[in-house]
């Protein structure tokens, strides 16, 4: 049977063991503990074995010093040209000063999320739709710069901010598809009009070239006729002879065409071709 003295001794032993256990703290790697004494900040326990005064000191907060990944909720953002985008991001932060992280803000994770969401609305709001969709790296860099200085007061370092997704809303996607289809039709119309224009230009150039060649041919024929008249005049020596010779030659060729025509039934040949030709030039004898 346990006497009163023995019971009191057991109580003291248990109290001493509990006291020692409460005074010894082993902090794991990747954490730092903020300790208060009588409600006021006393010190920081680093990884390893640490001692504190039981009942006077207490661990106010266990701060993770490893990189922390914070997911930023999806939100709607309006661009400079009034387009609606859906944007979400993810931030990687590290606690560099546990005391500021504990006493500088109530919840630093929520604080960073709200900072990023506000900064996103401001940055994307200054951009037009096409620029925002193609400028992830620029948005990421500006995000980091805009919040990096502010979170220093909370004992934090922003290592990076990544844009997970940035896309138009459902209504904007439909409008963009219609716009793209309209642009394709416009380009097709312009291409067809340009082709028609080039075709008309080529046809006009062909007609111009044909007319030029016809004119050159007429000039060449006239020159040849002139040369022929000169030659005949030199040979015959008669002033009207060359003209009669040439007209007679053309007259005979015309009669040859009449004879091969499918519609000709009769061909009349003058008995005296020379008189006929002379009559054509008004010099009948």
pLDDT in tens, 2-59: 677 777 788 888 878 888 888 888 999 999 999 999 889 999 999 999 998 888 889 9
Mean of the per-residue pLDDT values of the chain: 79
pLDDT at position 235 over 50: yes
Name, in order, each residue with C-beta under 8 angstroms of 39's C-beta and a sequence gap of 6 or more.
none
pLDDT in tens, 110-147: 999 999 898 888 888 888 888 888 888 888 888 888 88
H-only helix segments in the chain: 4-23, 98-103, 108-125, 129-133, 136-148, 170-236, 241-260, 273-280
Q: Which pLDDT score, from 0 to 100, does residue 46 have?
A: 92
CATH number 3.60.15.10 is the correct assignment for the domain at 68-174: no
pLDDT at position 284 over 50: no
Question: Quick one: DSSP state of residue 36?
Answer: E
Q: Which pLDDT score, from 0 to 100, does residue 201 have?
A: 87
pLDDT-derived band at 185, boundaries 50, 70, 90:
confident
Answer for the pair 43, 60: CB distance below 8 angstroms, yes or no.
Answer: no
Q: Which pLDDT score, from 0 to 100, does residue 45 have?
A: 92
Higher pLDDT, 182 or 102: 102
CA nearest to 125, candidates 91, 73, 87, 89 = 87
pLDDT at position 278 over 80: no
Q: Looking at the chain, which residues constitute the CATH 3.30.479.30 domain(s)?
A: 68-174
Q: Is the pTM of this model over 0.75?
A: no
């Amino acid at each position: 049977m346990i006497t009163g003295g023995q019971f009191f001794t057991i109580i003291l032993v248990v109290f001493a063991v509990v006291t020692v256990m409460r005074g010894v703290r082993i902090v794991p790697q990747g954490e730092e503990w903020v300790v208060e004494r009588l409600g006021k900040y006393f010190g920081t326990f680093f990884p390893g074995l640490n001692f504190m005064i039981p009942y006077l000191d207490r661990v106010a907060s266990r701060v993770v010093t490893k990189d922390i990944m914070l997911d930023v909720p999806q939100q709607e953002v309006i661009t400079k040209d009034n387009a609606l985008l859906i944007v979400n991001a993810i931030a990687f932060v590290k606690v560099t000063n546990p005391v500021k992280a504990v006493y500088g803000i109530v919840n630093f994770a929520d604080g960073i999320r709200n900072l990023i969401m506000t900064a996103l609305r401001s940055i994307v709001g200054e951009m037009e739709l096409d620029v925002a969709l193609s400028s992830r790296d620029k948005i990421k860099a500006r995000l980091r710069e805009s919040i990096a200085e502010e979170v220093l007061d909370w004992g934090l370092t922003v290592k990076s901010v990544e844009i997970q997704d940035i896309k138009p809303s459902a209504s904007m996607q439909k409008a963009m598809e219609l716009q793209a289809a309209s642009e394709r039709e416009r380009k097709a119309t312009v291409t067809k009009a340009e082709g028609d224009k080039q075709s008309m230009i080529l046809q006009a150039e062909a007609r111009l070239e044909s007319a030029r060649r016809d004119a050159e041919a007429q000039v060449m024929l006239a020159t040849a006729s002139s040369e022929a008249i000169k030659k005949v005049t030199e040979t015959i020596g008669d002033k009207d002879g060359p003209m009669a010779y040439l007209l007679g030659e053309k007259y005979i060729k015309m009669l040859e065409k009449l004879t091969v025509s499918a519609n000709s039934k009769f061909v009349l040949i003058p008995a005296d071709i020379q008189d006929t030709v002379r009559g054509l030039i008004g010099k009948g004898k």
